[in-house]
Structure 1
Amino acid sequence: MPSSLPVRRLLDLDFADLPLQGMLALLAKRPAEAPFGYIVTPNADHLVRLSRDPALRPLYDEAMLRLLDSRVVARIAGLLGLDAPAVVPGSDLTAALIASLPPDEKVTVLGLPPTALEQLASRTGLRRIAHHNPPMGFDRDPAAFEAAVRFIEENPARYSFLAVGSPRQERVAQAVAARGRGRGVGLCIGASLLFLTGEERRAPGLVQRAGMEWAWRMLQDPKRLARRYLVDSPAIIALLRREARQRKG
């Protein structure tokens, strides 16, 4: 990535400060055969988890790019007098990148059950998808984790979509980058592909722009997401307030 890339620092992370279209143009210029680099898209949940577990920091520090995934975080930061970077949700980036690809472009996907993969191919027209869906808990099984890393290395593509949840996907991406055998760009994008397959419904644009996509997602799957959004993620407010005080002091 160019040294002239604009960045903004927030919560001890340097975020790329480019809107979606600027990011697409930047990635399009990167050669497909370039050494593997990965993109992380932290949202409020990721940032809170990172503050509680510093051992996760290298996963973000070693990323090629960090993109702020949360309009809520950006708005709270602004209200507190902090300059937030441009918001580029991973789901928006994923949809735009895939829409820009010709049908015969090779892509690599880590995650997704076979039925969802079929839907992805059907809805996007992509014909060359290399796919590996690691087993549950693969990040705690050295052999399964190694298989996931090797799959990315052995199936190089301009774009590899890592859709196995955070921080598992970031750990795989970090390992691929550290070994130096992979090529292209790895995108740690969580559930973004599920929106394209129709397996999950994304919030309408108006809800997204209002910063309420988190509430929409929680209502779709309250058993899994209620604690994340109602108990864990609100701690982001305290983190941003502390940063605002430190900068003023």
Structure 2
Amino acid sequence: MAQPGAAQASGARGKGPGGARPLPEPPPVPTLPLFGLDFANLPLPAVVNWLAARPAGARFGYVVTPNADHLARMQRMPEMRQLYTAAMLRLLDSRVAAGAARLAGLPVPAVLPGSDLTAFIVRRILRPEEPVTILGMTEEAVAALAERCGLRNIAHYNPPMGFDQDPAEMERAIRFIEDNPARFHFLAVGSPRQCRVANAVARRGRATGTGLCIGASLLFLSGHERRAPLALQRAGLEWAWRLAQDPQRLARRYLMDSPRMFLLIRDDARQRRLARADRY
């Protein structure tokens, strides 16, 4: 598996960054505003088809999948909103947030969990010999992923803990994405680190393809973590399943930090009421 700086060929390329003209992009995705962000409002297959239609050599853009914890983080980290706004595509990854917003009378976009997106792309879109870039995960987990999912051309680099606070290590992570062209780059180093890397790569404008900020999603496919049963997912209780699996690490996130997401719902509903009042 390739290390940072070891470029891999990824098939025919059109003219992307640095070329004479930009490659054509698919038509814009319909969106619905919520919490001050424009979320894609399409079912999962349509979103995946849109991503798959992007030319492999198109200018790098990234996809974010904010869940309740990520949305709550926007309350205390203004940087998060900027990183999400700059993303090429935003997918709502929280049935809890969607349900609470609906109860507050807010229009709610389609809920598209990042783990579902990852599984769909890996199992139905990627070809066995297609170049794939993974930032994060252990070598053991990546090897298991390759064996279970039939991926034979993975470029992998797992940066050290706290890399996003070290300019040299951050540069190394950025260069790894730039030096390993792929149609899909899986950024699996957790939030907000993966969004910081994706945003830096996009701003620099040297890389191609689509960056997917997907956290632990690949660990479910590798077998290193077990995802909640489908019934719990559909009931909006996937967070409770994960909490039960790792209470020491996740208790603060789910029981103290994530509820701040309800403040976003309150503020969004209030602003919309004020806007309607101003119109009349």
User: TM-score, normalised on structure 2?
Assistant: 0.87
> Which residue of structure 1 aligns with residue 119 of structure 2?
95
1:183-202 deviation per Cα after TM superposition (whole angstroms, max 9, x unaligned):
10000000001111111100
Distance in 1 (CA, whole Å) between partners of 2:217 and 2:185 is 13
Equivalent residues of 2:26, 2:54 under 8 A apart: no
| Structure 2 unmatched runs, 5+ | 1-24, 275-280
1:246 aligned onto 2:271: yes
| SS of equivalent to 1:233 | helix
1:219 aligned onto 2:240: no
Q: RMSD of the alignment, in Å?
A: 1.0
1:149 aligned onto 2:190: no
1:5-61 deviation per Cα after TM superposition (whole angstroms, max 9, x unaligned):
211111111111111011011111111110100001111111111121213322111
Equivalent residues of 2:26, 2:53 under 8 A apart: no
1:41 aligned onto 2:65: yes
Distance in 2 (CA, whole Å) between partners of 1:110 and 1:239 is 31
Distance in 2 (CA, whole Å) between partners of 1:204 and 1:96 is 17
Alignment of 1:1-249 (within 5 A): 2=26, 4-100=28-124, 101-249=126-274
| Structure 1 unmatched runs, 5+ | none
1:149-198 deviation per Cα after TM superposition (whole angstroms, max 9, x unaligned):
00000001000000000000000000110111101000000000111111
Could you tell me which amino acid in structure 1 is paired with residue 34 of structure 2?
Answer: L
CA apart distance, 1:2: 4.8
Could you tell me which amino acid in structure 2 is paired with residue 205 of structure 1?
Answer: L
The number of residues matched between the two structures is: 249
1:62-105 deviation per Cα after TM superposition (whole angstroms, max 9, x unaligned):
11001101111111111111011111111000000001212111
Distance in 1 (CA, whole Å) between partners of 2:26 and 2:155 is 29
1:107-158 deviation per Cα after TM superposition (whole angstroms, max 9, x unaligned):
0000001110111111101000000000111111111110000000000100
CA apart distance, 1:4: 4.1
| SS of equivalent to 1:215 | helix
1:189-219 deviation per Cα after TM superposition (whole angstroms, max 9, x unaligned):
0000111111110001111000000000000
> Which residue of structure 1 aligns with residue 12 of structure 2?
none
Distance in 2 (CA, whole Å) between partners of 1:152 and 1:163 is 13
Equivalent residues of 2:36, 2:268 under 8 A apart: no
| SS of equivalent to 1:9 | strand
Could you tell me which amino acid in structure 1 is paired with residue 39 of structure 2?
Answer: F
Higher mean alpha-carbon deviation, 180-189 vs 229-238, is at 229-238
CA apart distance, 1:235: 1.6
1:218-242 deviation per Cα after TM superposition (whole angstroms, max 9, x unaligned):
0000001011101111121232022
Could you tell me which amino acid in structure 1 is paired with residue 75 of structure 2?
Answer: S
Distance in 1 (CA, whole Å) between partners of 2:27 and 2:120 is 24
User: TM-score, normalised on structure 1?
Assistant: 0.97
Distance in 1 (CA, whole Å) between partners of 2:32 and 2:158 is 35
Could you tell me which amino acid in structure 2 is paired with residue 204 of structure 1?
Answer: P
Distance in 2 (CA, whole Å) between partners of 1:206 and 1:55 is 34
Distance in 1 (CA, whole Å) between partners of 2:48 and 2:28 is 16
Could you tell me which amino acid in structure 2 is paired with residue 82 of structure 1?
Answer: L
Could you tell me which amino acid in structure 2 is paired with residue 150 of structure 1?
Answer: R
Could you tell me which amino acid in structure 2 is paired with residue 217 of structure 1?
Answer: R
Distance in 2 (CA, whole Å) between partners of 1:82 and 1:29 is 31
CA apart distance, 1:3: 5.4
Distance in 1 (CA, whole Å) between partners of 2:94 and 2:209 is 25
